[in-house]
Amino acid sequence: MAASDITRFMNNARLRLTGATDETLQQELFNVMDEFFKGSNVWCEDLDIPIPGQDPVGTIYQLTPSGPSLIDKLAWVFELPTTSTIGRGAAIGAAMQVPGELTLSLQPSSTKTYRVTVVLTVQDPVARSGYVTFPAWVLAKYRLTLLDGLFGKMYSQPSKPYTNTQLSVFHMRKFKIGIASARVEWTRNNTYRQQAWRFPAFAGGSQRGSSGWAGPV
Amino acid sequence: MALETVAKYITAARVLLQDTKNTPYRYPDADLLAALSEAFPEAKKLRPDLFLVTPLQDFAVNDATVVVMDPMYRTALVYYMVGRAQLRDDEETQDQRAAAFLSMFAAKLTTVS
């Protein structure tokens, strides 16, 4: 995260939360980000996983995100494209009963590489500053929604100088609406007037001139 | 900055206790140090969030040991020390004063006051 981004964010929070300490704000910010990412799915990562041929059915493949984060959901799995003119290969049936453990419905007979897209959420802060780590663009894009979440959670704490049940309800409602809005934007790949559907695989999405993204439809 | 060390807390409490002349002191250092030590768990009971990273401290000597507390809430500890010290007096006026300081301690921690 850019320092100026989080500084502005924290200053906005401090202005309206009289008597709150930075440690408490950081603690609740973690909860806010966790709820936001789990509800909206906006933080995704593609992982290329080599699958050896003829592994037994039920073989578990470990998924590890590149940065400090936890895997929340398995979004989709595709084979790598065979040519550079298409965005992805065939869809692969897969499951993730335990977060981070991928199993395939059908094992390939020869070695392949699958592109696994996972939805991430925050992990315990690893930075010395105590701030939770997540992509900077999330704070830039969803600043007000995240502030609503932080206000809602802070105001709901009992017996604090900043306790305010009414404002807590108000901001939590806005936070939930913000999460729902972010989830819709994610399903539409942040594209204006994009439909919540896509052409089937045989059409490849190219008939609409789109990039053929793998939206969750 | 005021109220950084144990000695500064003791001095601040003595001002409110009107016990600044060592002839000898009416409230010995040991009593005020015990009150300061007791203030921490009492504060944690009301505001656990203040102690997420700050440990509960215990003090035995009136010296320059740093008292780790968010600057916004340092006065509350002084109020607790004063209230706790005055509880030992059996005069009615002192009882009221003790109760007032202990109430102010709680109010400082839990309200915008």
pLDDT of A111-158, one tens digit each?
A: 999 999 999 999 987 777 888 999 999 999 999 999 999 999 999 999
Whole-structure pTM value: 0.85
| Rounded average pLDDT over B11-35 | 95
Give the number of domains in chain B: 1
Any alpha helices (H) in A41-142, and if so which ranges? 136-141
State the Cα–Cα distance between residues A179 and A190, nearest whole angstrom: 14
| Rounded average pLDDT over B46-67 | 94
Give the pLDDT band (50/70/90) at residue A217.
Answer: very low
Spatial CA neighbour of A71 closest among A104, A107, A89, A47? A47
Q: What is the pLDDT of residue B86?
A: 93
| Rounded average pLDDT over A50-69 | 94
| Rounded average pLDDT over A183-202 | 75
* pLDDT tens by residue, B68-112: 999 999 999 999 999 999 998 777 678 899 999 999 999 999 998
Q: Which residue of A has its CA nearest to B54?
A: A23
Spatial CA neighbour of B44 closest among B99, B110, B103? B110
Which of B52, B110, B111 is opposite residue A24, by nearest beta carbon? B52
* Domain-located, residue B80: yes
Residue B21, pLDDT above cutoff 50: yes
Residues of B in contact with A24 (CB under 8 A): 49, 52
* Domain-located, residue B88: yes
ipTM of the complex: 0.81
**Interface residues on B facing A, Cβ-Cβ cutoff 8 A:** 46-47, 49-50, 52-53, 70, 72, 110-112
Subunit contact B111:A161, Cβ cutoff 8 A: yes
Q: Pseudo-torsion of CA A50, A53, A55, A56, nearest 10°?
A: 140
Please report which helix (H) or strand (E) contains residue B24, including its range.
Answer: none
State the Cα–Cα distance between residues A123 and A135, nearest whole angstrom: 12
Q: What is the pLDDT of residue A209?
A: 45
State the Cα–Cα distance between residues B12 and B78, nearest whole angstrom: 7
Percent of chain A topping pLDDT 70: 88
Residues of A in contact with B72 (CB under 8 A): 19, 21
* Domain-located, residue B43: yes
Q: Which of A20-24, A100-104, A203-207, B58-62 has the lowest mean pLDDT?
A: A203-207
Q: What is the pLDDT of residue A200?
A: 61
Q: Pseudo-torsion of CA A49, A52, A55, A61, nearest 10°?
A: -20
Q: Which residue of A has its CA nearest to B47?
A: A160
Residues of B in contact with A27 (CB under 8 A): 49, 52
Q: What is the pLDDT of residue A199?
A: 60
SS3 B30: helix
Residue A97, pLDDT above cutoff 50: yes
**Interface residues on A facing B, Cβ-Cβ cutoff 8 A:** 18-21, 23-24, 27, 130, 157, 159-162
Per the CB < 8 A criterion, the answer to whether A211 and A71 are in contact is no
* Domain-located, residue B1: no
For β-strands A44-51 and A112-121, DSSP reports them as antiparallel
Q: What is the pLDDT of residue B74?
A: 96
Give the pLDDT band (50/70/90) at residue B2.
Answer: confident
For residue B34, the enclosing domain spans 6-110
Q: What is the pLDDT of residue A4?
A: 86
**What is chain A's length?**
217
The label of the residue with tokens 């203030």 reads: B39
How close does chain B come to A19, measured CA to CA in Å?
7
